[in-house]
Amino acid sequence: MNAFDYEAPQSVDEAISLLSAGNGNIGILAGGTDLIAQLKEGRKIDLMLDLKQIPEATALSFDEDSGLSIGAATSCSKIYSYDVVKNHYPALVDCTSLIGSIQIQNRGSVGGNFCNASPAADTPPAVIVLGGTCRIAGPNGTREVAAEDFFSGPGQSVLQSGEFLISIQVPTPAANSGAFFLRFIPRNEMDIAVANAAASVVLDSEKTTIQEARVAIGAVAPTPLLVADAGAALAGKAVDDEDAIEAACAASRAAARPISDMRGTIEQRIHLSGVLTRRAIQGAIQRAKES
């Protein structure tokens, strides 16, 4: 590993100052499960900026009005162990509890998963269907970007030089709502998604009609995708409307534009986008019924 300096700022302002003073060749450290592995593979940085001394970056809190706030450096295990997440955001448990091993979950963060911006990242689809937003700090203050708009390509996000992700905000789930995430891997754990999908639904008070729905898919395009057509296909339809669910699956298959690689082919990934969309919708409806 090449030599670099290390700083652990105590505040957002201090981190912004350090980012502005640097020459841009800065590695931002949360859990390190991507960054440190990349440094070992030859990535060169001049400064490692550790976010974990910034209170907002490691906070995990919930407020009925503002929803869930997940500090960018909060570990996956802290998130899925949090009672509020277990009780009100099970789709976040789905994704954070299947990333890597326990060792990785104890270090790796949702913020890091976003900023590493792997097309196959497992947390973005769930955050997207939950209506999450990314709070970004920069020299001109903070700005918020919808989770689905955060990614611009493989390994690329809308973060500009001098900016960093502070936290992810997830609204309080509506009444009679549910969300679900799943992925396909050819083994039981410790793998990277061939494809993944998440869905959220809001049902009417009778829990028979879908009022609103969101579907997101991953590992099948350069970035995680919100499939607006899939959500639209479900809105206003009965929870057991097979044609509507099939239309949503078709929308996901149409939105997918995957590559073939060691994990799967284009054909398999397009097929999986439909299968996983169906299962995510069914899982979300089930959870909404139980809510």
Partner 1 sequence: MPGKVHVTTTINGESVEFLCEPRQTILEVLRDQLDLTGTKEGCSNGNCGACSILVDGNVIDSCLMMGVEAEGQEITTIEGVASADGLHPLQQKFLEHAALQCGICTPGFIVAAKALLDQESDPSEERIRLYLAGNLCRCTGYDKIVRAVQDAASEMAE
Amino acid code (one letter) for 209: T
Among 15, 18, 39, 147, indicate the residue that binds partner 1 (CB under 8 A): 39
Residue 30 or 227: which CB sits closer to partner 1? 30
Amino acid code (one letter) for 136: I
CA distance 265 to 267: 5
Among 20, 86, 87, 102, indicate the residue that binds partner 1 (CB under 8 A): 102
**Site membership for partner 1, residue 5 (CB under 8 A):** yes
Q: How far is the CB of 184 from partner 1 (least distance, A)?
A: 18
CA distance 180 to 285: 9
DSSP label of 121: -
- Other CB atoms within 10 Å distance of the CB of residue 168: 28
Q: Token pair of 118, please?
A: 């792997």
27-61 in b/e burial notation, b at 16+ Cβ within 10 A? bbbbbbbbbbeebeeeeebebbbbbbebebbbebe
Using CB under 8 A as the binding rule, the residues of this chain from 127 to 166 that contact partner 1 are: none
Q: How far is the CB of 101 from partner 1 (least distance, A)?
A: 2
CA distance 121 to 183: 10
**Site membership for partner 1, residue 192 (CB under 8 A):** no
Among 43, 107, 143, 271, indicate the residue that binds partner 1 (CB under 8 A): 107
Residue 38 or 291: which CB sits closer to partner 1? 38
Among 58, 69, 74, 77, indicate the residue that binds partner 1 (CB under 8 A): 77
Q: How far is the CB of 6 from partner 1 (least distance, A)?
A: 4
CA distance 290 to 272: 27
Beta bridge partners of 123: none
**Site membership for partner 1, residue 21 (CB under 8 A):** no
249: closest CA among 218, 217, 223, 219?
Answer: 217
- Binding-site string for partner 1 from residue 41 to residue 70, where x marks contact by CB under 8 A and - marks none: x------x-x-x------------------
**Site membership for partner 1, residue 29 (CB under 8 A):** yes
- Reported residue count of the chain is 291
What is the binding site for partner 1 (CB under 8 A)?
1-6, 8, 29, 31-33, 36-37, 39-41, 48, 50, 52, 75, 77, 100-104, 106-107, 188-190
